[in-house]
């Protein structure tokens, strides 16, 4: 089977997010004997590249972000070259991942019109929202952990975006999803519920997967990285991704202060690229300056070693987080997660068995779960073993690839009818 994978970004240009998932899936499909062609975008060049032995067609697209609500539907910078490219490639399947910025939703229309079965995977709430989803969360009710109403209140997108709002955007995306996709995938049940609550057509759930072997490491690598970051003798909480308000930075730092009272040797290792917000966080929290270690963005063996030296991973998002990859990665590496109840994290992390699920606004509970994992060796070992077993049983790259191949077969059968 020849599969074309569409994604606005791909590694190494954007090593995380939906692009990373699309990239891993493509190589999983190649490992199963299928032919995969990637199509992505760049702001400053176009051409054909070979990345990790896979062909990658790069389309150039660069425009001011304030026009995204319009050009995400039809971007002439990418639509013009994509049309003849897909006609030339004539794949068996077109699978779109993150296309909400540059490749645009019209890429699905092109594939459909030329007769290619189309599959769309939603990785976030962008098909109906313009930004992170927080309206359903009540910060004054930290006791709540489920029962959310994901329907957007009337006028929500307009109030969020003002003059950048496009009144036709959501209607156009809904039309494309209904009439120009043969199969629609959500990466979690929570995301499926959110999409369908906001009038999108039905989605099927296929959870992301990873290769557990890629998180195997050695004591020597762990020791080298520990020395590099000055973490000898420290208990380590790992936070992966860009520091931001939505990712629960304030709640995590408040919890860190509480954890420090019981675990004075605790450190927070942040794996993220430097940013102005990171500098702001450090400036506003001088009492934690000796506890926060900025590790930068890591990949491959260094990333595996970082998870190997971590005692626990934290993902306390205070927004809808579709399916935090850090939980899977931590579990695969044997570092139990303490994660948010907002979104799809609860579908991989079983509270009290493979990690802990908390409402991040309950900072006391967040600090308690972190402290328990940092101080109770037997608890951490039990949850780590259960987490690794759960990943091997349900969330491997092979599971993910096989599930997507079944989706492709259904899309082809549907188109044949």
d(CA 137, CA 150) in angstroms, rounded, equals 10
Query: What's the pLDDT tens digit per position in 373-397?
Result: 999 999 999 999 999 999 999 999 9
Give the per-residue pLDDT at 133.
Answer: 95
Query: What's the pLDDT tens digit per position in 270-312?
Result: 998 878 888 888 899 999 989 999 998 898 999 999 999 999 9
Tell me what the mean pLDDT of segment 335-357 comes to.
98
d(CA 37, CA 57) in angstroms, rounded, equals 8
The C-alpha angle with vertex 379 and arms to 377 and 380, in degrees rounded to 5, equals 65
Tell me what the mean pLDDT of segment 125-130 comes to.
96
Give the per-residue pLDDT at 132.
Answer: 92
Phi, psi of 94, rounded to the nearest 5 degrees: -115, 120
Give the per-residue pLDDT at 358.
Answer: 98
Give the SS3 label for residue 210.
Answer: strand
Residue 82 pLDDT grade (very low, low, confident, very high; cuts 50, 70, 90) = very high
Q: Who's near 414: CB < 8 A, 6+ residues apart?
A: 117, 182, 183
Query: What's the pLDDT tens digit per position in 162-181?
Result: 889 999 999 999 999 999 99
Give the per-residue pLDDT at 338.
Answer: 98
Beta bridge partners of 276: none
Name the percent of the chain lying above pLDDT 90.
91
Only one residue has tokens 């940092």, namely 374
In the β-sheet with 312-315, what is the strand arrangement from edge to edge?
A: 292-294, 266-271, 235-240, 312-315, 337-340, 356-358
Query: What's the pLDDT tens digit per position in 187-227?
Result: 999 999 999 999 999 999 999 999 999 999 999 999 999 99
Residue 15 has pLDDT above 80, yes or no: no
Name the percent of the chain lying above pLDDT 70.
100
Both tokens of 214, joined, read: 């890629």
d(CA 336, CA 331) in angstroms, rounded, equals 6
Tell me what the mean pLDDT of segment 232-254 comes to.
93
Give the per-residue pLDDT at 242.
Answer: 78
Instruction: State the Rg of the chain over Cα.
Output: 21
Q: From residue 233, how far is each of 209, 227, 263, 309, 347 by CA, in Å? A: 33, 10, 12, 11, 34
What is the average pLDDT value for the chain, to the nearest integer?
95
Give the per-residue pLDDT at 276.
Answer: 83
Q: What is the dihedral of CA 366, 368, 373, 374, to 10 degrees?
A: 100
């Amino acid at each position: 089977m020849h599969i074309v994978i569409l994604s606005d970004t791909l590694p190494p240009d954007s090593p995380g997010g939906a692009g990373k998932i699309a990239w891993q899936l493509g190589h999983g499909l190649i490992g199963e004997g299928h032919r995969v062609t990637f199509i992505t975008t760049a702001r400053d060049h176009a051409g054909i590249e070979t990345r990790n032995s896979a062909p990658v067609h790069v389309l150039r697209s660069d425009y001011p972000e304030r026009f995204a609500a319009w050009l995400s539907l039809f971007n002439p910078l990418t639509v013009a070259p994509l049309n003849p490219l897909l006609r030339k490639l004539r794949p068996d399947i077109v699978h779109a991942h993150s296309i909400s910025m540059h490749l645009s939703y019209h890429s699905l229309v092109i594939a459909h019109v030329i007769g290619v079965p189309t599959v769309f995977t939603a990785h976030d709430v962008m098909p109906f929202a313009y930004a992170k989803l927080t309206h359903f969360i009540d910060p004054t009710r930290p006791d709540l952990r489920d029962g959310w109403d994901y329907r957007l209140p009337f006028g929500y997108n307009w109030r969020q975006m003002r003059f950048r709002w496009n009144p036709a955007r959501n209607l156009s995306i809904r039309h494309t999803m209904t009439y120009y996709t043969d199969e629609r995938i959500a990466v979690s049940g929570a995301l499926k519920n959110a999409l369908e609550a906001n009038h999108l057509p039905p989605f099927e759930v296929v959870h992301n997967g990873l290769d557990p072997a890629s998180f195997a490491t050695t004591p020597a690598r762990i020791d080298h990285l520990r020395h590099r970051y000055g973490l000898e003798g420290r208990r380590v909480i790992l936070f992966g991704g860009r520091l931001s308000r939505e990712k629960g930075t304030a709640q995590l730092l408040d919890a860190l202060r509480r954890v420090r009272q019981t675990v004075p040797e605790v450190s927070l290792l942040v794996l993220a690229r430097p940013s102005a917000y990171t500098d702001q966080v450090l400036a506003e929290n001088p009492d934690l300056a000796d506890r926060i270690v900025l590790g930068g963005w890591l990949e491959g063996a260094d990333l595996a070693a970082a998870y190997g030296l971590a005692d626990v991973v934290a993902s306390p998002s205070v927004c809808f987080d579709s399916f935090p990859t850090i939980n899977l990665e931590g579990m695969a590496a044997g570092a139990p997660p303490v994660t948010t109840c907002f979104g799809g994290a609860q579908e991989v992390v079983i509270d009290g068995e493979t990690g802990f699920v908390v409402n991040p606004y309950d900072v006391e509970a967040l600090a308690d779960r972190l402290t328990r994992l940092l101080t109770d060796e037997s608890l951490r070992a039990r949850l780590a073993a259960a987490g690794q077993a759960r990943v091997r049983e349900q969330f491997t790259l092979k599971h993910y690839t096989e599930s997507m191949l079944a989706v492709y077969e259904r899309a082809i059968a549907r188109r044949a009818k």
